Amino acid sequence: MIDLGTLEGASYAKAFAINDSAQVTGSTDSRAFLWDSGELIDLGLLPGATQTFALDINDAGQVTGYSGDNGNSDPPWHAFIWEDGVMTDLGAPDGFFTTWGRGINNLGQVVGNMYFEGTADHHAFLYSEGVWSDLGTLGDDALSQAEGINDFGQIVGWSREMPGTPWRPFLWEDGEMALLDVPRDFEYALPLAINNAGSIVGYGDRETGGIRAVVWIEGTMYDLNDLVVSGGAWQELTIADDINDAGQIVGLGENPDGDTHAFLLTPIVKAPCDGDANADGTVDPLDSGFVLARFGCPVGTGDPDCDAADQNADGEVNPLDAGFVLARFGKCE
């Protein structure tokens, strides 16, 4: 786990997003940053603004967020795209006053929330090539918010089914909003980002532990604190803000000293086990059958099954490979 530090003069830092090059974006106090190979870069402000918050970054290094003046409506908060040192104001569609960019994919599509003029009501939006789309809500409510979008156009966020009911997490796909799973020991859970594998991260309120960082894997939600192996023994991971296609997660937590800092979490990839020819995590008769069925198969010709069957790496699939597997039955851990 890496401590990303803060911009000069800032009292804290929070990481919101990471791309596949391990570039991280976030905010320190009211200033936005890009972290790139150990360097923190200040992203600046929209004209007339006094504050900027960066919330997402794509693989091209484009950053989205919002910039404005918290104590003044002029200029209003507007979503932006920052690229190569230039911050572009996305403005707002007709009928809306304020826009907040919260997620951006590799197509440059931005999602977030936009506020109706003269009210505090807001809807989730999709911005694509200058066109704004209102994503609606889960039910008869005026509120929804989009947080993340992947390259397949899957969008995550939250909404309410009826006025006065709790916020509910959603996955928006092909024009439809669907509810996400939340375990019974969580009062609520809210998604913040989705990668191209469909893995989703966010946070939730757990009855036994308060606010906790969470991850949805293949539709099932987990407390991220239950999955972490860390010699540094961070006290708690409270919010998971983004996940890239390598499975790296950034967010906010309490470090071993009790300070609130940004974190970068990298998944542990288990090395392949010798003898596990069919890659199911165990060495058993199924692996022997896998090898036997490929005796004489040409190795190194682009057939991954033939290459996997050559367990002793001698360039051939033969009885020696079957013996190699047999000697390792039950030893894959």
Query: Could you state, in order of their start, the residue ranges of all structural domains in the chain?
Result: 14-265, 270-333
pLDDT digits (tens, 9 = 90+) for 46-90: 999 999 999 999 999 999 999 998 766 667 899 999 999 999 999
pLDDT at 232 over 60: no
Is domain 14-265 classified as CATH 3.40.50.170?
A: no
Give CA–CA dist 333/246, Å, rounded: 23
Q: Which CATH class is domain 270-333?
A: mainly alpha
Contact in structure between 169 and 180 (CB atoms under 8 Å): yes
Res 129 pLDDT > 80? yes
Mean per-residue pLDDT, 248-264: 84
CA distances from 326 to 236, 286, 320, 323, 331 (A): 44, 11, 10, 5, 10
Is there a contact between 114 and 122 (Cβ–Cβ < 8 Å)?
yes
Q: Give the residue among 81, 1, 14, 3 at the shortest CA–CA distance from 240.
A: 14
Residue 84 φ then ψ, to 5°:
50, 45
Tens digits of per-residue pLDDT, 144-177? Answer: 999 999 999 999 999 987 777 788 999 999 998 8
Q: What pLDDT is stored for residue 173 in this prediction?
A: 93
